[in-house]
Amino acid sequence: PMTELLNLCSRSALWLDRMAPLVLPTLARFVFAAVLLVYFWGSALTKLGDGPLGIFRPSSGAYVQIFPKAMEAAGYDASALGLWHWVVVVAGTSAEFLLPALLLIGLCTRLAALGMLGFVAVQTLTDLFGHGAIHQAATVGAWFDRASGSLIIDQRAFWVLGLMVLVMLGGGPLSADRALRNAPWARPAFPRR
């Protein structure tokens, strides 16, 4: 009986090992889309200026969100900030639209997930030090405590975990990456051995 149990555990582990690269990336992309896609796109929309080229004329709120201390020092006059501030705001807003879209369809998944990890790191530092969340214990939270819902430590740890799955395993079987890799023009001229 013990040998049968060990064999069952071994066979189950082998099956799970084979399924992990199929299930985990697809699930990670689904959860990202279900939980964070609208969050990031909604945030990006608040940064757009007026008109069809609003991305190149960011709202004052965009500068307040990304450069809170610089905007305060400038009397909340975005025109008092420099070209570098404009470039960062436009790049950040563009990334907030583009990177989640790439993850949604699974195109350039690993690179997009790496970009989102960088984005989340910058967002977290801005929240902590720019917006002063570092002084709000409930917002920052702590690991290994009984509370599991802090906005910074707890939630963003799960964001990073899901993004790391995509960095390590790619977009999975239901992704544009896989479709492009399996396209007829992408196949080698000679069969692999």
Confidence band for 188, pLDDT divided at 50, 70 and 90: low
Indicate the helix (H) or strand (E) that contains 91: helix 83-105
DSSP assignment, residue 75?
T
**How many C-beta atoms lie closer than 10 Å to residue 47's C-beta?**
24
**% of the chain with per-residue pLDDT over 90:** 84
Please say if the pLDDT value at position 192 is more than 70.
no
Residues 6 or more apart in contact with residue 98 via CB below 8 angstroms? 112
Please check whether residue 49 is in contact with residue 90, taking contact to mean a CB–CB distance below 8 angstroms: no
Please say if the pLDDT value at position 82 is more than 90.
yes
Please say if the pLDDT value at position 168 is more than 70.
yes
Q: Rounded mean pLDDT of 84-107?
A: 97
d(CA 75, CA 101): 35
pLDDT for the residue numbered 147: 85
Residues 6 or more apart in contact with residue 123 via CB below 8 angstroms? none
Q: Rounded mean pLDDT of 23-29?
A: 97
Place of tokens 């200026």: 49
Place of tokens 């967002």: 123
Longest C-alpha distance within the chain, in Å? 77
Mean pLDDT of the chain: 93
Least confident of 57-71, 98-112, 136-150: 136-150
* CB-count burial class (<10 Å; 0-12, 13-18, 19+) for 50: exposed
d(CA 39, CA 34): 9
